Amino acid sequence: MSSPSPGQIPQHVAIIMDGNGRWAKQRGLPRLEGHRRGVETVRTVVDAAREIGIRYITLYAFSVENWKRPPEEVSGLMGLLDYFLKRELNNLIKNRVRLLTIGRTHELPENVQRELNRVKEATKDFTEWTLVLALNYGSRTEVADAARDYAAAVQAGREKSGESSWESFSRYLYTGVADIPEPDLLIRTSGEQRISNFLMLQLAYAEMIFTPIAWPDFGKADLEAAVVEFNRRERRYGLTTEQLRTGPQ
């Protein structure tokens, strides 16, 4: 498999990390062991994204719906997140990778919030590479929060009533507040073919790739293969193929 060519790299790749539990079940292991292996894959994929030249990578780490899982699994996931943040800080600093978050992180356990704030503060000045963790995130929740904040801005006179646009409204989404560009490519692992309340508005023009590979088995070669497939796609943004070739008339 050929590596992606220079100049053909998506700026922003978003990933739904699916299949940890099924990976563990197939091997007769506890679900949490699948999540532990998934944490190891995060480092592999973040390092691979940087080597390939992907500037932003967003990982769907914990959704607003994930609170419904068994309490012991939720507690285990929060413990793994705390462990990941403590372990990865030096690696992020070494590679000059900035950490950002999207979601209602203020509802996470206090120890996790402290670690998130510590890592974000330590990496805030890095701009070349960015890792975004979607934590306690849901696209519908994001839209509800953005609508509330946008309405408050209109009431305060910071936005003009009756002159709404995507450009103005999108600034109030979590991604807009953090100045994160829209994804060029979405990857979902483990064979499911849905976006599960993830970046629904931001993915409007993203290419989507669904792979049967479970997240713990996903590696650099799989990320490269997805980028190669991305470059086979023709992204028209409402134009025709002829317009893309000759330029809009």
User: What would the pLDDT profile of 152-188 be if each residue is shown by its tens digit?
Assistant: 999 999 998 888 899 999 999 999 999 999 999 999 9
Query: Which of 88, 72, 73, 74 has its CA nearest to residue 39?
Result: 88
The answer on whether 235 is annotated among ligand-binding residues is no
Is residue 91 part of the annotated active site? The answer reads no
Q: What ranges do the domains of the chain cover?
A: 12-139+182-233
Q: Would you place residue 1 in the very low, low, confident or very high pLDDT band (cuts 50, 70, 90)?
A: very low
Q: What is the pLDDT of residues 9-66, one digit of tens each?
A: 999 999 999 999 999 999 999 999 999 999 999 999 999 999 999 999 999 999 999 9
Q: Active site residue: 66, 95, 197, 231, which one?
A: 66
| Residues 34/79, Cβ–Cβ less than 8 Å | no
Residues of the chain with pLDDT > 90, as a percent, come to 88
Model confidence at 239, pLDDT cuts 50, 70, 90, reads low
- 23 annotated as a binding-site residue: yes
Output helix, strand, coil percentages for the chain, rounded to the nearest 5.
50, 15, 35
Neighbours of 9 (CB within 10 A): 18
Whether pLDDT at 245 is above 80: no
Instruction: Say how far apart CA 133 and CA 137 lie, in whole Å.
Output: 9
Q: 21 a known binding residue?
A: yes
Q: Are 116 and 108 in contact (CB under 8 A)?
A: yes
One-character DSSP codes across 7-47: T---SEEEEE---HHHHHHHTT--HHHHHHHHHHHHHHHHH
Residue 222: strand, helix, or coil: helix
Model pTM greater than 0.75? Answer: yes
Q: Determine the Cα–Cα distance for residues 170 and 165; give it in Å rounded to an integer.
A: 8
Q: Looking at residue 233, what is its pLDDT?
A: 85
Q: Quick one: pLDDT at residue 164?
A: 84
Whether 135 shows a pLDDT value over 90: the answer reads yes
What is the predicted pLDDT for the residue at 36?
Answer: 96
Catalytic residue from among 18, 136, 184, 222: 18
pLDDT of residue 77: 96
Catalytic-residue membership of 66? yes
The Cα–Cα gap between 115 and 205 comes to 34
pLDDT in tens, 76-102: 999 999 999 999 999 999 999 999 999
Phi/psi of residue 44, nearest 5 degrees: -60, -45
Amino acid at 115: E
> Hey, what are 29's tokens?
């292991």
79 annotated to bind ligand: no
45 is in an annotated binding site: no
> What mean pLDDT, rounded, does the chain reach?
93
Top CATH class, 12-139+182-233: alpha beta
Decide: 14 and 185 in contact? Cβ < 8 Å. yes
Q: What confidence score (pLDDT) does residue 4 get?
A: 59
